[in-house]
Amino acid sequence: MDLTFLGASGEVTGSCYLLRTDRARVLIDCGMFQGSATADLKNRRPLGVDPASLDAVVLSHAHIDHSGRLPLLTKSGFRVKIFCTPPTIALTELLLKDAAHLQSEEADRMNRRRQRRGGPTATPLFDEQDVPPLIKRLTGVPYAKDVEIAPGVRLTFHDAGHILGSASLTLTVSERGRTQTVVFSGDLGERNTVLLNDPEKLPRADVVVLESTYGDRDHRDLNETVAQFKQIIVNSAHSRGKVLVPAFALGRTQTLIYYLAQMHREGSLGNAPVYIDSPMAIAATRLYHSHSNLFDDAARELLRTGNNPLTLPQLRLSTSAEESRAINALSGNAIIIAGSGMCTGGRILHHLRHNLWKPETTVIIAGFQAEGSLGRRLVNREKVVKIYGEPILVRAKIETLGGFSAHAGQTTLVDWFASLAASKPRVFLTHGEQAPRQALAAALDARFGARPELPMLGDHFDL
């Protein structure tokens, strides 16, 4: 058996690993590289394996950095099954359609510029027509069910607690009379994340591929973050301004709605309308509703007692562009959750343009903001920002919350590994930049003598 690292090796995007035996070839995730100057180039490079030679693909969860190169497989003659959990099927369709749409827009924008200047035509990596043939290949396997996915390779999914349907996976691989257990952590969630279970711990492994996104630190305390969020909402009711919350459609939006619904039950929310101003976030929230059997105990207990954890009386779902624009005409206190999460596009931009200059406005930054994004400029307290090319004065209160994260911090990563440590597995750290994964390697070595390996893109290991 051997393992080749085809992405997320020394970086956080592009997850893709190839496991080969003398009888089978299985690809684990096929994610898009994102964010860096070389990302587009890496996405367009040949994958490193002939898609027609694969026996199966396993998808750990729907995020684009794990699923975004899958349409390239189906475009190049791939005809076998892609195994994932049932919620991941619908979420992948939602996210890939959105990614296709964004790429087409980006290509059009670049081509308008290139027409004026001269230059080669830009093409999207894939378009919306490439998504349905891929979705047909997705095959749902519930958590804890053991299935044979290729000759001599069995798969079991475990709840990773990162987003709805996210999974760690165990592959039981038999080759020439020898059986080995290979565990991929997938992206692991933080403990005590609302709605989701804590990441499931696994009993043993011969090989572990572990994510290391936040391998060098812990997040700020969740309880303090929640208290801070609630206080900001209460204060905004006094100042009678709008509260703008840029948020990712999947995961963060549902977390915020959960806490607003909790405030409503506690009697601290008041009557301000709460808008989800994003068709994608509305669709993602519906998918959470339809898979509520996977919620954690606390959320299922709420449901059992007639309290839906993802709704509240003043919740307004704004689907069309007209509905979104109509929010601008409203005066007084209102809470508006809209994309994109880093204010790099989407409906949050027109809300910011209309409200940033008003001192009664509050902007809540509840997620990571990349260098250069409008969200980061707001966090950095820039006095004037440009939106649609127009300079806008920032008089709004900018509040930054550090404790909501979809990823496990270092302590949770180390604790997750603890149950596997006794079986003395070979450990590879991926899905983290160099500094965080070195820090996690040092922590795992200090506590368990684990000596993790830090593969780079294209590295290949006999197991």
| C-alpha span between 366 and 211 (Å, rounded) | 22
- The nearer residue to Zn ion, 11 or 187, going by C-beta atoms, is 187
CA 340 to chain CA mean position, Å = 13
Closest C-alpha among 208, 51, 258 to residue 137 = 51
Residue 183 near residue 420, CB atoms below 8 Å: yes
Looking at beta carbons only, is 63 or 350 nearer to Zn ion? Answer: 63
Q: Does the protein bind Zn ion through residue 354 (CB under 5 A)?
A: no
Rounded distance, CA 236 to CA 5, Å? Answer: 48
Report the distance separating Cα 91 and Cα 100, nearest Å: 14
Q: Which is nearer to Zn ion, 15 or 333 (CB)?
A: 15
Nearest to 23 by CA among 142, 236, 178, 232: 178
The separation between the first and the last C-alpha atoms of the chain, rounded to the nearest angstrom, is 6
Least distance (Å) between residue 64 CB and Zn ion: 9
Give the per-residue contact string, 260-299, with Zn ion (x = CB under 5 A; - = no).
----------------------------------------
Sheet holding 56-58, edge to edge: 138-140, 82-84, 56-58, 25-30, 16-20, 2-5, 460-462
Q: Counting contacts by CB under 5 A, is residue 437 touching Zn ion? A: no
Residue 393 bridge partners (DSSP): 384
CB of 15 to Zn ion, least distance (A): 8
How many residues sit in the footprint of Zn ion (CB under 5 A)? 2
Please say which residue, 159 or 187, places its beta carbon nearer to Zn ion: 187
To Zn ion, the closest distance from the beta carbon of 166 in angstroms equals 7
Q: Which is nearer to Zn ion, 55 or 187 (CB)?
A: 187
Pick out residues in 246-265 that bind Zn ion (CB under 5 A). none
Stretch that binds Zn ion, among 5-13, 58-66, 228-236, 408-416 (CB under 5 A): 58-66
> Closest CB to Zn ion among 187 and 206?
187
Residue ranges of alpha helices (H) inside 118-154 are 131-135
Stretch that binds Zn ion, among 183-191, 207-215, 346-354, 361-369 (CB under 5 A): 183-191
Which pairing describes strands 178-184 and 167-175: parallel, antiparallel, or unpaired? antiparallel
The verdict on 63 binding Zn ion (CB under 5 A) reads: yes
Q: Which stretch binds Zn ion (CB under 5 A): 62-70, 177-185, 225-233, 373-381?
A: 62-70
Whichever of 187 and 399 has its CB closer to Zn ion, that residue is 187
**What is the rounded distance in angstroms from the CA atom of residue 242 to the CA atom of residue 229?**
15
Cα gap 216→433, rounded to integer Å: 10
Stretch that binds Zn ion, among 21-29, 61-69, 341-349, 395-403 (CB under 5 A): 61-69
Which one of 63-71, 144-152, 207-215, 423-431 is the stretch in contact with Zn ion (CB under 5 A)? 63-71
Shortest approach of Zn ion to residue 179 CB, angstroms? 30
Q: How far is the CB of 187 from Zn ion (least distance, A)?
A: 4
Choose, by CB under 5 A, the member of 187, 190, 277, 399 that binds Zn ion: 187
Minimum gap (Å) between residue 364 Cβ and Zn ion = 22
DSSP class per residue in 232-263 = HHHHHHHHT-EEEEE--TTTHHHHHHHHHHHH
For residues 76 and 170, give the distance between their C-alpha atoms in angstroms, rounded to a whole number: 28
63 versus 426: smaller Cβ distance to Zn ion: 63
* Site for Zn ion, rule CB under 5 A: 63, 187
